[in-house]
Amino acid sequence: MAGSEIRRNMPLFSIGIVMQLTDLSARQIRYYEEHGLISPARTEGKKRLFSLNDIDKLLEIKDMIDQGVNLAGIKQIYNVKKQQAAMTADEKKQAEKMQNELSDAELRKLLRKELLRAGRFNRNSQQGDLTRFH
């Protein structure tokens, strides 16, 4: 599953298509980029080109937005995910301990407010559903 990652990161789609596929406005998509949630590639002429992964992520974001999570929350979630992905198995155990003890105050506040608001969360697979497209 090495080549598949490349393929899913290949910049292929113009913003117009992504709008249709995600039902997001151009404004929304650019705003999410502005806040670092996605980083679509660019053509020489600076037009955005989105990958399948970008679209997946936008669908995830849309889901979270629909569930009332604000951008700050979404950012934190991605930060957490990223850290976890970068951690080896036993680093994770360490982190779990830390999480339960002295995680920084702001993160705790956010996580409590955004994530623990009912079990509406993790209900669905961590991944935006793009199976209908390819």
Burial (Cβ within 10 Å: 0-12, 13-18, ≥19) of residue 84: exposed
- Partner from its own copies, DNA, none contacting 132, C-beta within 5 to 8 A by type: its own copies
How many residues sit close enough to DNA to count as binding (CB under 7 A)? 22
Per rule CB under 7 A, is residue 128 in the interface with DNA? no
Residue 69, C-beta contacts closer than 8 angstroms, at least 6 positions apart: 77, 114
Per rule CB under 8 A, is residue 49 in the interface with its own copies? yes
Q: Nearest Cα to 121, choosing from 42, 66, 80, 75? A: 66
- The stretch among 9-17, 29-37, 88-96, 112-120 that binds its own copies (CB under 8 A) is 9-17
Tokens describing residue 43: 């053509």
What is the nearest approach in angstroms of DNA to the Cβ of residue 95? 26
What are the residues facing 133 on neighbouring strands? Answer: none
* x/- track of binding to its own copies for residues 55-94 (CB under 8 A): ----------------------------------------
Per rule CB under 7 A, is residue 44 in the interface with DNA? yes
Per rule CB under 8 A, is residue 16 in the interface with its own copies? yes
Q: What angle do CA 67, 27, 15 make, to 5 degrees?
A: 100
